[in-house]
Amino acid sequence: MPEAGSDGGQGLRGHALIQAQLRLLDASPGVYRMLNAQHEVLYVGKARNLKARVANYARPSGHSPRIARMIAETASMMFLTTRTETEALLLEQNLIKQLRPRYNVLLRDDKSFPNILVSREHPFPQIKKHRGAKKEKGDYYGPFASAGAVNRTLNQLQKVFLLRNCSDAMFESRTRPCLLYQIRRCSAPCVGLIGEAEYGRLVADAKRFLEGRSTDVQARLASEMNAASAAMEFERAAALRDRIRALTAVQAGQGINPRGVSEADVIALHMEGGQACVQVFFIRANQSWGNRDFYPRTGSGAEEAEVLEAFLGQFYDDREPPRLILLSHPIEDADLMTGLLSARAGRRVEIAVPRRGEKAELVENAARNAREALARRMSEGAAQSRLLEALAEAFDLEAPPRRIEVYDNSHIQGTDAVGGMIVAGPEGFEKGQYRKFNIRGTDLTPGDDFGMMKEVLTRRFERLLKEDPDREGGGWPDLLLIDGGAGQVAAVAGVMERLGVSDIPVIGVAKGVDRDHGKEEFHRPGRRPLALPRNAPVLYFIQRLRDEAHRWAIGAHRARRAKAVGATPLDEVPGIGAARKRALLAHFGSAKAVARAGIEDLKAVEGISAATAQRIHDFFHAGG
């Protein structure tokens, strides 16, 4: 796949530069990049025929405003030919993900979707939520649109099928039923209140339900309830009635249960005012497993076909596509996208734009959700813009801030101290930009909040100065909010002055009289404290920012503390991962007992070879 790049050798730009590139190209498939004078990639595109596609850009007129701006900024181009058109599409998606060009459509979401897992490696399988790589042996059902959708389903499934959700270690350690058995959410296999065969039938019923055969399960439960009632086993009949009700509640909560669509992702796009919302509904086993909305960056005004095609390529980059994808709009290269997704899935994937029938109704429902979600977002965005303008006015800022960074610390008497940073801007909280800082300073007095804040700000801005000294990357804040009063603000101002960053406003948010919400005082370097009217919307806005930073810092501190509490000397032994550590602790009962064990005792543990046993023994007996 040869690559070429050129500015035409004449210092040309725009249409003239692109025209000069045509003599270098042929009809091969491939990928092209358009770069500006600073060698930043403006756009990455694919082509079945590179020469024909690039010739479109060489025309001096007939372009949309977005494409015209892009052409005008183009100072050089790069080309890479491929063997096939599908290869070009794959390469294009990889380069877009890597380079994130300004004029490409970008999906700003990399979250994985949760599944339900029914484990296989235990006589009494566990049912639980699973997110991430499917490494554990078992049957996976999903994806679900959110953790909430999974949790609601699991909650109801526990009522219906009475399957355990405890870990294997907890299962083995039980000597009496837990609370879940008392509230009829588990059949208590841990203490033998149900046999392996009967529990296996419950597991089979749960799998049938998750595969879409809920009517079979419901009919059998109804038959058992009638039989129990006829035999005057009224307590058992009542329990079966409760399970049937729970099963009905699951079905009712799913809302949409298409009869003719067993497995599909329904994807609808709505665009308005230069913004886009893509709504995705997950249909599996003839059931709706939730929906999620996405707001891709449209590359300054791309058309529907380009937005949807880019969304598909990026959305399924690390997710397995279903057998059917229903779209609200046709895409330009549907055959190439079908081939790419089929190759990724290892089976045939169909892409369709339905016009009538049940499938069209599913798409229209998703389109309505996309339209309503975008309207809510635009309304919230307008309100957010007004709040940022009010913030600028209240604190005499030069302009409404585009990026606010809010800092807070969390610790218990100085231990496991963590600094938290959250980010907010015109689109609300930017959670993908949040950061945490484990406090490293060894010379800090426990509980020295000033010293902790100095360390956090020093590390943050030293890194910014190193990575983006010219402030071109968009990661520099234009307002800092600090949870604290005059002392904290003075500490931060000192750090900023020492680093030579004196043009970013700093505001400290201190609790006022009686430490009460609404009586906050605001501190700025070299200026008198300021209070805002108690009912001012901008005051509520700052409180939300401060509270979100507090929540984030506390969460990071708790995670660090939990990790420290769960740490054992085994963590330091080379070659001992999580599985071997669990096996050793289960066998010996404690890390101290492992440290005292002889080599032969260590070798008796499953998964511990003679070499590993020797390594563990040497680690704990070095120098002894």
Domain boundary among 529, 548, 563: 563
Q: Are residues 425 and 450 in the same domain?
A: yes
pLDDT at 409 over 90: no
Q: Are residues 576 and 555 in the same domain?
A: no
Q: Are residues 554 and 611 in the same domain?
A: no
For 139, the enclosing helix (H) or strand (E) is strand 138-141
- 355: Cβ–Cβ under 8 A, 6 or more apart, which residues? none
Give the pLDDT band of residue 623 (cuts 50, 70, 90): low
Mean pLDDT value of segment 255-272: 84
Bond preceding residue 143 cis, omega within 30 of 0: yes
In a domain, 215, yes or no: yes
Mean pLDDT value of segment 288-298: 89
pLDDT at 561 over 80: no
Residue 185 lies in domain: 115-253
Which position has the higher pLDDT, 116 or 582? 116
Beta bridge mates, 43? 34
Task: Record the tokens describing residue 195, joined without a space.
Answer: 């046999």
Beta bridge mates, 351? 325
What is the per-residue pLDDT for 185? 86
Coil vs helix vs strand at 46: strand
In a domain, 382, yes or no: no
Q: Are residues 428 and 541 in the same domain?
A: yes
Q: Which CATH number covers residue 28?
A: 3.40.1440.10
Mean pLDDT value of segment 417-426: 91
Q: What is the pLDDT of residues 182-233, one digit of tens each?
A: 888 899 999 999 999 999 988 988 888 888 776 666 677 778 888 888 888 8
In a domain, 109, yes or no: no
Coil vs helix vs strand at 310: helix
In a domain, 393, yes or no: no
Beta bridge mates, 45? 32
Q: Are residues 155 and 243 in the same domain?
A: yes
Q: Residue 502 class from Cβ within 10 Å (0-12 exposed, 13-18 middle, 19+ buried)? A: exposed
In a domain, 337, yes or no: yes
Beta bridge mates, 288? 283
- Cα 570 → chain centroid: 31
What is the per-residue pLDDT for 149? 82
pLDDT at 350 over 70: yes
Q: What is the pLDDT of residues 368-401, one digit of tens each?
A: 999 999 988 888 888 899 999 999 999 999 999 9
pLDDT at 624 over 60: no
In a domain, 104, yes or no: no
Residues 36 and 125: their CA atoms lie apart, in Å, by 58
Most confident of 10-14, 389-393, 529-533: 389-393
pLDDT at 515 over 90: no
Q: Are residues 210 and 299 in the same domain?
A: no
Distances (CA, A) of 211 to 203, 256, 283, 307: 12, 16, 11, 33
Residues 154 and 161: their CA atoms lie apart, in Å, by 10
In a domain, 17, yes or no: yes
| Mean per-residue pLDDT over the chain, rounded | 86
Q: Are residues 291 and 233 in the same domain?
A: no
Q: Which CATH number covers residue 587?
A: 1.10.150.20
CB-side exposure of 515: number of CA atoms within 13 Å?
2
In a domain, 128, yes or no: yes
Q: Are residues 69 and 174 in the same domain?
A: no
Q: Are residues 357 and 446 in the same domain?
A: no
Beta bridge mates, 77? 6, 34
pLDDT at 564 over 70: no
Beta bridge mates, 34? 43, 77
Q: What is the pLDDT of residues 31-58, one digit of tens each?
A: 999 999 888 999 999 999 999 999 999 9
* Number of compact structural domains in the chain: 5
Residues 208 and 213: their CA atoms lie apart, in Å, by 5
pLDDT at 177 over 60: yes
Query: Which of 138-142, 238-242, 523-527 is predicted least confidently?
Result: 238-242
Give the pLDDT band of residue 538 (cuts 50, 70, 90): very high
Q: What is the pLDDT of residues 155-166, one digit of tens each?
A: 878 888 899 989
Residues 528 and 526: their CA atoms lie apart, in Å, by 7
Domain boundary among 375, 395, 429: 375
Q: Are residues 233 and 282 in the same domain?
A: no
Model confidence, pTM: 0.68
Q: Are residues 149 and 180 in the same domain?
A: yes
Check if the beta carbon of residue 342 is closer than 8 Å to that of residue 322.
no
Task: Record the tokens describing residue 220, joined without a space.
Answer: 């059998």
What is the per-residue pLDDT for 110? 62
Residues 515 and 607: their CA atoms lie apart, in Å, by 56
Domain boundary among 563, 582, 602: 563
Please work out, in degrees rounded to the nearest 5, the angle formed at the alpha carbon of residue 95 by the alpha carbons of 90 and 96. 100
Give the pLDDT band of residue 254 (cuts 50, 70, 90): low
Mean pLDDT value of segment 529-548: 90
Coil vs helix vs strand at 510: strand
Beta bridge mates, 283? 264, 288
Query: Which of 155-159, 249-253, 569-573 is predicted least confidently?
Result: 249-253
Check if the beta carbon of residue 219 is closer than 8 Å to that of residue 203.
no
Q: Are residues 188 and 325 in the same domain?
A: no
Pairing relationship of beta strands 350-352 and 324-327 according to DSSP bridges: parallel
> Which candidate, 524, 495, 229, 305, places its Cα nearest to that of 396?
524
> Which candidate, 74, 63, 78, places its Cα nearest to that of 31?
78
Check if the beta carbon of residue 80 is closer than 8 Å to that of residue 62.
no
